[in-house]
């Protein structure tokens, strides 16, 4: 894991991990890919290594990220998918030219058409988003119960009743807030 990146690979869902690069959307938003270099780092951590990224490619990545977030949120709420978000996701999926390869260890790995094709990496992320939004994977889209987060996440728990996108951040904050509120109510 690269320094400075929390483990965004929760549940091995690349698309919702990618949307988590902008956190606290309904609070004080935190941008985790503020520069092209940070996107290169994030892609490497997630098995989609590229050697460079332009500002235009970073803009495209952010556009894809926001489109996935909007579409996944709509799907979690069982609302109609916004046409503009679907268009961006489909465009990125079609533009990517990555190939899935099997490693000698029996794992899937992505081979990009060239080391500078951020579009290939975004195509893999878009294809992952399509598979979860279309309901092709075992699990369900849900929204984080944290009022400052409300991120769409893919719940693969046995009961499909997870409340938080990440127990170590949002869930822990909510538990801590409840504990502190209870402590304030106790007589001294």
pLDDT of residue 93: 97
Domain annotation covers residue 47: yes
Domain annotation covers residue 7: no
Q: In which domain, by residue range, is 54 found?
A: 14-139
Domain annotation covers residue 160: no
| Model confidence pLDDT, tens digit, residues 118-173 | 999 999 999 999 999 999 988 899 899 888 888 888 888 888 888 888 777 787 77
Domain annotation covers residue 60: yes
Domain annotation covers residue 165: no
How far, CA to CA in Å, does 7 sit from each of 10, 17, 170?
7, 9, 14
Encoded tokens for 118? 């951020």
Domain annotation covers residue 109: yes
Q: With b meaning 16 or more CB within 10 Å and e meaning fewer, what string describes 20-33?
A: bbbbebeeeeeebb
Residues 6 or more apart whose CB falls under 8 angstroms from that of 3 comprise none
pLDDT of residue 12: 67
| Model confidence pLDDT, tens digit, residues 67-95 | 999 999 999 999 999 999 999 999 999 99
pLDDT of residue 168: 77
Averaged over 1-10, what is the pLDDT? 40
Domain annotation covers residue 149: no
Task: Give the count of domains, the chain.
Answer: 1
pLDDT of residue 8: 39
- List phi, psi (to 5°) of 100: -80, 130
Instruction: Read off the pLDDT band of 181 (50, 70, 90).
Output: confident
| Model confidence pLDDT, tens digit, residues 92-126 | 999 999 999 999 999 989 999 988 799 999 999 99
Domain annotation covers residue 9: no
Averaged over 30-50, what is the pLDDT? 96
pLDDT at 183 over 90: no
pLDDT of residue 9: 38
Encoded tokens for 60? 């495209």
pTM: 0.84
């Amino acid at each position: 894991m690269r320094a400075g990146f929390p483990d965004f690979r929760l549940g091995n869902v690349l698309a919702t991990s990618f949307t988590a690069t902008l956190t606290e959307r309904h609070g004080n938003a935190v941008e985790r890919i503020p520069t092209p270099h940070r996107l290169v780092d994030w892609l490497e951590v997630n098995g989609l290594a590229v050697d460079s990224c332009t500002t235009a490619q970073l803009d495209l990545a952010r556009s894809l990220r926001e489109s996935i977030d909007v579409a996944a949120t709509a799907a979690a709420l069982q609302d109609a998918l916004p046409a503009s978000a679907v268009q961006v996701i489909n465009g990125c999926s079609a533009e990517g030219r990555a190939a899935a390869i099997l490693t000698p260890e029996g794992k899937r790995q992505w081979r990009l058409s060239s080391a500078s094709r951020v579009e290939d990496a975004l195509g893999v992320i878009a294809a992952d988003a399509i598979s979860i939004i279309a309901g092709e994977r075992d699990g369900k889209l849900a929204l984080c119960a944290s009022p400052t987060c409300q991120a769409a996440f893919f719940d693969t728990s046995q009961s499909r009743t997870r409340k938080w996108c990440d127990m170590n951040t949002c869930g822990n904050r909510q538990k801590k807030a409840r504990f502190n509120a209870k402590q304030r109510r106790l007589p001294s």
